[in-house]
Amino acid sequence: MTKWTLAAAILFAGTYGFAQSAQTAPTARKSCEDLKAELAKKMDARGVVGYTLDSVDKGKESPDGKIVGSCDGGTKSIVYTRGAATTQAKGSDEKKPQ
């Protein structure tokens, strides 16, 4: 019985140390343009249209939008605003024959 207890304790200690190192690992500083491109790609894949993604200084977010990420080491926020036309959507509207 003590062998199983010892084995369980060693297994727990190993997983606990791994979990701690994963939580304290520094995250890479991501530029706002890279993050906006990633978010736009995911949203386009889901079929979302008529939105804007803006990078604003931390604390200066608009009440109309929703914060969907942070960039530049946490100094800026990415704000999603629904209902606003994107530049891609505007360009495609202009090309449609009337």
- pLDDT by residue (tens digit) across 68-93? 988 988 899 999 998 855 444 444 44
Contact call for residues 58 and 79 (beta carbons, < 8 A): no
Give dist(CA 6, CA 10) in Å, integer.
Answer: 6
Enumerate the domain spans of the chain: 2-85
Tokens of 51: 């939105």
Tokens of 56: 């604003």
| pLDDT for 47 | 92
Tokens of 65: 């939008």
The verdict on pTM exceeding 0.75 is: no
- pLDDT by residue (tens digit) across 32-70? 999 999 999 999 999 999 999 999 998 887 778 899 988
* Structure-token match 């791994």, residue found: 18
- pLDDT by residue (tens digit) across 11-33? 666 666 555 544 444 556 788 99
| pLDDT for 86 | 47
Give dist(CA 75, CA 83) in Å, integer.
Answer: 26
